[in-house]
Amino acid sequence: MKRYYFKTHVVLIMTSACLLFLQSCKPKTAQSAAGGDASKSYVAPGKYDEFYNIVSGGFNGQVAVYGIPSGRLFRIIPVFSQAAESGYGFSEETKPMLNTSHGFVPWDDQHHIALSQTKGEHDGRWAFANGNNTPRLARIDLTTFRTSEILEIPNSAGNHASPFITENSEYIVAATRFSVPLDDQNGDVPINTYKQNFKGSISFVSVNPTSGEMNIAFQIRTPGVNFDLSRAGKGKSHGWFFFSCYNSEKANTLLEVNASQKDKDFVMAVNWKKAEEYLKAGKAKKQSVKYAHNVYDENTHTATSTIKTEVMVLDPADCPEMLYLIPCPKSPHGTDVDPTGEYIVASGKLAASIPVFSFTKLQKAIADKAFDGEYDGIPVIKYEAALHGEVAKPGLGPLHTEFDGKGNAYTSMFVSSEVVKWSISDLKVLDRVPTYYSIGHLSIPGGPTAKPHGKYLIAYNKITKDRYLPTGPELTQSAQLYDISGEKMKLILDFPTTGEPHYAEAIPASLLMNKQRKIYKIEENTHPYVAKGEGQSRVERKGNQVHVWMTAIRSHLTPDNIEGIKVGDEVYFHVTNLEQDWDVPHGFALKGANTAEILIMPGETQTLKWVADKPGIVPFYCTDFCSALHQEMQGYLRVSPAGSNVPLLFSTGTNKPAVTGTDTTKK
Amino acid sequence: MKKILGSILLLSSIFFFSCNDAAKESGTTTTETETINPGGQSSVKDDESAKDVVKIAVGSADHSTLVAALKQADLVNSLSNAGPFTVFAPTNAAFDKVPKETLDNLMKDENKAQLQDILQYHVYVGSLKTEMMEDGQTFNQVNGGNITITKKDGKVMVNNSATVIASIPASNGIIHVIDGVLLPPANK
């Protein structure tokens, strides 16, 4: 009774509270529900976002595409991981994309994104992505949002400091997180001979200005440190690249303790124009290696994987004035270059301050030989000689810095879970906002370019305890959107993400939305097994291999009745989508297939390989809801025992019951 | 019951006020974020997980001075983060060795930066068991200053002034209870 009384009271109070709530905030917008100023992130139904946000997927190995400011997820692009959803890495055409010198590697850990640039600004052509585990670089075509190319990186392990890009997309870089014995050395050495046997590598990968194709132009052999992150110089510092290095102690065990012994590690400054000169002058040595280069052809709709066997290597000992080390406090993580190219911000993740180096002072220090000795033969610049100044006590655990183009820098603070805005000129902290929780990277549209768009900042958080409805032991990672148009940063949206985002870039929608590919022209399809019309569909046997030239169009598959398949046959379903209409993919799946479906874009051909495992009838169907008669889009395949003499038959619409009987089974 | 009713009333008033703020469209970031989460990571409700360094300190009767200082220095949320942290945690008795006047001064708002400096000197980012420490080893603490470990006959000392008297593993690191307060080197 008492309880009842209490409940009534609670309900009454709650109701009146709700009433108050409703009255005071009338149906304005979705505003106060999110707590932040949600109206600023609200994109009405049918309206477009201002920016594409190209976001790394971390341990899902893929890249995600969101809209900003809405936070809506548009697409997950399969890159380094097989995607059962589309058949990427399962279809015969896409399997070669995941080939490496280790064979087929269907997963990776995707950390950073670099969008192609021209004159220091986004040009909207390609997105580059790194594979952290089995060192790889990928190129995504921003007209199709599909992976066009994957390049493996030799002499490397843990491709973390990658794929940062120069201002005209001359190069993207790949610097190794783990130093390792080189690929042409005997790697069967005691691990505690690290100091003698382990080396670092930085790869400069050229980007063909027309096709975008990647090629390892040269590698630079470096001391056996760990490379963490990187940025290209721009404007006045164009021609230079900056890499953060940790573990200058060269520890090979318990790095948690042993890689934090020295007060300072380094930022490595690479004069890559100088490196190009040395390469031209024949200073590079050819090294024998093995790495895969996988390219997807949009006409054959097929990837080819080529194993390459050589790389050109520059040794700093033969190349003076190519590398310099700038001391940097405590295991620097992000090293970021401001829009003018003058300032290099290095965030020592365990440091109590953020050092900001000046490119002009660095050049002067080099000219004056203001060195503080050498590290493995590489000149170490005097810290003070290159230093513009330090941001004192910015927060705890500084990681990464982005820029708004108005002279401000924004640094993520992992330990104190906040974004700190500070002024580049006087290094004063201007504002700070909490993140929920444990921010890693952050992104401002155009933030790494010479002309940032500013306006928004997106924080990518690692921990979301108590932020969303809980989902068992594993919780989503999150992004938080801040309005940075004013003096104070304002949280306006909090949205869950897919995978584990690390770095991301955002690019104005106007640069991409009008050049999206809608279909593949069927007449341009040069796939060896294309059927450019239903008349070309057929089934052919070559020994125990059976090739099915199949077509898909609303709302049938041709052929849809196939007989004469025998147990043990390898059947290749080459499915061509005959549609020439945007947003009408067809899917193809077959009962018991040990792979995945394939999803075929209009005008494209994709192949599902399947081995007939037992006699019987095997249904197949279209998996992508394509039309009102999608559910009718299906067929049957008959499997007979291995020695059977059932003839190979295929048809659509003609294999009808015999007129006289109901039993159509042939003997 | 009164308590529950009270909190409901409080909740509704928060709702009410936050609406007003939104309606004004000029609410400051702090008010808004406070509405979203008043407590930060330390206020996450979770009685099932192992305790983090903050929760362990809060639960220790011997560390009430330290906990009060951490709160005053706004370090509670940071230390509830993933870390990992090694916290050298002076006992109340250790703090008692510091002149009361000095301690009282440090707890004043205007001296917060100094208090933060001292407390951050007690924290290392990384989880260090004593067996990982070597005699003469230095560790760079969160405030930027170094501590030096001495290890003799199984006894671990920090800066030759405070002895590790117990070590308690935490979900986000480890606490080494020490019998002295560490003072950051002045010439940092």
Domain ranges, ordered by start, for chain A:
35-77+393-517, 79-224+284-318, 522-651
| Inter-chain touch B81–A10, beta carbons under 8 Å | no
pLDDT higher than 70, residue A2: no
Task: State the best of A417, A419, A475, A482 to mutate against chain B, taking most chain B CBs within 10 Å.
Answer: A417
Of the options 3.40.630.30, 3.30.70.1350, 2.130.10.10, 2.60.120.260, the CATH number for the domain spanning A35-77+393-517 = 2.130.10.10
- A365-392 per-position pLDDT tens digit: 999 999 999 999 999 999 999 999 999 9
Distance from CA of A541 to the nearest CA of B (A): 60
Contacts of B8 in chain A (CB under 8 A): 10, 13-14, 17
> For testing the chain B interface, which of A19, A399, A465, A468 should be mutated: the one with the most B CBs within 10 Å?
A465
Whether B74 and B109 map to the same domain: the answer is yes
pLDDT for residue A104 = 98
A149 contacts: CB under 8 Å, gap ≥ 6: A138, A139, A212, A213, A214, A293, A294, A295, A296
B161 contact A CB<8A: no
Q: Are residues B68 and B12 in the same domain?
A: no
Of B12, B20, B41, which has the smallest distance from its Cβ to A17's Cβ?
B12
For A187-232, the pLDDT digits (tens) are 999 999 999 999 999 999 999 999 999 999 999 999 999 999 999 9
Out of A6-10, A197-201, B54-58, which region has the weakest mean confidence (pLDDT)?
Answer: A6-10
Interatomic CA distance for residues A284 and A323, integer angstroms:
15
Residue A19 has pLDDT above 70, yes or no: no
- Residue B169 in contact with partner chain A when CB distance is under 8 A: no
Q: Angle at CA A185, nearest 5°, toward A182 and A191?
A: 75
Q: Please tell me whether residues B62 and B116 are part of one structural domain.
A: yes
Q: Which range in A654-658, B63-67, B141-145 is most confidently predicted, on average pLDDT?
A: B63-67
Closest to A51 (Cα-Cα) out of A115, A5, A117, A146:
A115
pLDDT at residue B40, as a whole number: 84
Give, as one character, the DSSP assignment of residue B48: S
Same domain? For B23 and B64 the reply is no
Residue A262 pLDDT: 79
Interchain pair B37, A466: CB under 8 A: yes
Q: Identify the pLDDT of residue A33.
A: 36
Residues of A within 8 A of B81 (CB-CB) are: 414-417, 437-438, 463
User: Token digits for A472?
Assistant: 């068992």
DSSP classification of residue A534: G
Can you give the pLDDT at residue A31? 38
Q: Which fold has domain A522-651?
A: Immunoglobulin-like (2.60.40)
Residues B115-144, mean pLDDT to the nearest whole number? 93
- Comparing alpha-carbon positions, the chain A residue that sits nearest to B126 is A256
Q: Which of A21, A437, A491 sits opposite B16 (nearest CB)?
A: A21
Assembly ipTM? 0.82
Same domain assignment for residues B75 and B22: no
- Chain A residues whose beta carbon lies within 8 Å of the beta carbon of residue B12: 13-14, 16-17, 20-21
Is the CB of B25 inside 8 Å of chain A's CB atoms? yes
- Selected for mutation to probe chain A from B36, B70, B115, B122 (highest A CB count within 10 Å) is B36
Residue B82: CATH number of its domain: 2.30.180.10
B51 and B33 within one domain: no
Structure tokens at A48: 């477009």
Same domain, B1 and B76: no
CA distance A532 to chain B (A): 57
**Domain A79-224+284-318 coded CATH 2.130.10.10:** yes
Phi and psi at A608, nearest 5°, equal: -110, 125
For tokens 């529900």, name the residue: A33
Chain A residues whose CB is inside 8 A of the B84 CB are: 256
Q: Label residue B186 by pLDDT band (50, 70, 90).
A: confident
CB atoms within 10 A of CB A5: 10
| Nearest CB to B41 within list A37, A417, A489 | A417
Is residue B95 one of the residues assigned to a domain? yes
pLDDT above 50: residue B1:
no
In percent, the amount of chain A with pLDDT more than 90 equals 89
| pLDDT, tens digit (0-9, with 9 covering 90-100), for A584-626 | 999 999 999 999 999 999 999 999 999 999 999 999 999 999 9
Confidence of residue A69 (pLDDT cuts 50, 70, 90): very high
CA distance B188 to chain A (A): 11
B23 touches chain A (CB under 8 A): yes
pLDDT of residue A665: 53
Residues B125 and B81 reside in one and the same domain: yes
**Is residue B131 domain-shared with residue B163, that is, in the same domain?**
yes
- Name the H helices within A178-229: 194-197
Tell the burial category of B115 from Cβ atoms under 10 Å away from its Cβ (0-12, 13-18, 19+). buried
Chain-chain contact of B142 with A396 (C-beta, under 8 angstroms)? yes
Number of separate domains in chain B: 2
Give the structural domain span for B55. Answer: 44-178
Q: Assess whether the region A35-77+393-517 and the region A79-224+284-318 belong to the same CATH fold.
A: yes
Kindly tell me if the per-residue pLDDT of B13 is higher than 50: no
In eight-state DSSP terms, residue B121 is T
Our CA-based measurement puts residue B187 at a distance from the nearest CA of chain A, in whole angstroms, of 15
The whole-angstrom separation of Cα A64 and Cα A73 is 7
Residue B54 maps to a domain: yes
Residue B185 lies in a domain: no
